[in-house]
């Protein structure tokens, strides 16, 4: 949905308006030119990257001495459309964490300068609700890391959404964090730099971050940030498939700078989801107690009080009873909200039983609500 007034500001000021020139040039070199419809958007992004360059360089120099956060971050992970945003918002409502709002996340290179200046200009023009699911949006809401990381380097599943000429490859590489060693190393540097920059905004509290692209990389996260805690949220795979397919169609129609009509969304999701889950299973083995836990989306919706209490206990989350109470109150304020219903046909359900048997079985053992 466009913001008030009807103009689609998210197209004119695309998230890539926060990218650096090298990232933009790399995207075009690797994935080709934009379509006629996407060319003006890319031109605006390129112009903004050049106009921001002095600030980008100045802030990079100022940030060169930043160390790791004094308080290790808390990460929310899960395949896209598994409930990561809902859990992120619930935990953020506790008031116990440092958060990254949308405009600052989009401009990770200029968190001190242009980011704060742009907030009063951009936030009133943000869509009132998320394009993909109608969830309300506000200027202070916590934002997925990937919107910033996609602007800081070449390895991001968001690039599949912006330049879908090789959608399946970029979707898979971005979610599995695969690719040439140089790109992987640059990605690791981008993650460390992003977290250090954003943690400096709220030094008194652990940073709360969420990103589906971290799901297959839990051990790497813990190596980058010793003492970090990771929460994986899992959802009924059938709902994940239906919701991912629907949301990708919406996002591509709004954000793609190239023609996406030939993209085989279903094939990409069918192939990548079990790989992400397998990497998660492998990575979670042998992790230290208190570093990693899982919850089911359906349990968080059906019994938020018990689910949140378990999270706070297992991971020793900050803020104690007061923070837990605020998170519960937020859930109660959403009691009338229901996730979008995207029913599958019998043939689609049969297809998932053939392609994702392990994932369907694993989900049934995790969620108390799975059999309801």
Domain boundaries, the chain: 9-366
The answer to whether 84 touches 233, Cβ cutoff 8 Å, is: yes
Residues 109-136 pLDDT 10s: 999 999 999 988 888 877 777 766 667 7
- 332's CB contacts (< 8 A; 6+ apart) are 304
Torsion sign over Cα 185, 167, 171, 361: negative
Q: Tell me the mean pLDDT in the region 150-176.
A: 96
Residues 11-26 pLDDT 10s: 667 999 999 999 999 9
Lowest mean pLDDT, pick from 112-126, 196-210, 307-321: 112-126
- φ, ψ of residue 289 to 5 degrees: the values are -60, 140
**How buried is 226 (Cβ within 10 angstroms: 0-12 exposed, 13-18 middle, 19+ buried)?**
exposed
Mean pLDDT of the chain: 91
Rounded Cα distance, 250 and 131, in Å: 7
Rounded Cα distance, 124 and 107, in Å: 17
Rounded Cα distance, 69 and 66, in Å: 9
Checking if the pLDDT of 7 tops 70, the result is no
* CATH code that applies to domain 9-366: 3.40.50.300
What pLDDT sits at residue 239?
95
Residues 292-301 pLDDT 10s: 999 999 999 9
């Amino acid at each position: 949905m466009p913001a008030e007034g009807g103009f689609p500001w998210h197209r004119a000021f695309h998230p890539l308006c926060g990218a650096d020139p090298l990232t933009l040039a790399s995207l075009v070199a690797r994935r080709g030119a934009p379509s006629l419809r996407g060319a003006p958007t890319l031109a605006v992004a390129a112009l903004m990257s050049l106009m921001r360059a002095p600030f980008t360089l100045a802030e990079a120099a100022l940030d060169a001495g930043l160390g790791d956060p004094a308080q290790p971050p808390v990460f929310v992970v899960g395949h896209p459309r598994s409930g990561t945003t809902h859990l992120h918002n619930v935990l953020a409502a506790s008031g116990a964490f440092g958060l990254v709002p949308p405009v600052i996340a989009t401009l990770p290179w200029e968190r001190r300068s242009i980011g704060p200046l742009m907030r009063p200009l951009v936030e009133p023009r943000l869509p009132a609700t998320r394009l993909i699911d109608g969830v309300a949006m506000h200027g202070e809401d916590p934002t997925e890391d990937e919107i910033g990381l996609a602007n800081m380097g070449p390895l991001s599943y968001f690039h599949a959404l912006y330049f879908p000429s090789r959608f399946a490859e970029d979707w898979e590489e971005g979610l599995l964090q695969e690719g040439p060693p140089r790109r992987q190393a640059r990605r690791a540097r981008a993650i460390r730099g992003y977290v250090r920059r954003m943690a400096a905004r709220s030094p008194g509290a652990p940073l709360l971050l969420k990103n589906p692209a971290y799901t297959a990389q839990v051990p790497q996260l813990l190596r980058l940030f010793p003492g970090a805690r990771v929460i994986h949220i899992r959802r009924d795979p059938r709902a994940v498939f239906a919701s991912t397919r629907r949301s990708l169609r919406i996002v591509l129609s709004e954000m793609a700078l190239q023609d996406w009509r030939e993209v085989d969304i279903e094939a990409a999701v069918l192939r990548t989801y079990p790989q992400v889950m397998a990497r998660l299973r492998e990575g979670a083995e042998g992790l230290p107690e208190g570093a990693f836990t899982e919850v089911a989306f359906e349990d968080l919706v059906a019994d938020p009080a018990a689910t949140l209490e378990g999270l706070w206990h297992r991971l020793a989350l900050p803020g104690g009873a007061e923070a837990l109470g605020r998170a519960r109150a937020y859930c109660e304020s959403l009691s009338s909200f229901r996730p979008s219903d995207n029913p599958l046909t019998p043939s689609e359900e049969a297809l998932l039983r053939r392609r994702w048997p392990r994932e369907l079985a694993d989900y049934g053992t995790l969620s108390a609500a799975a059999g309801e």
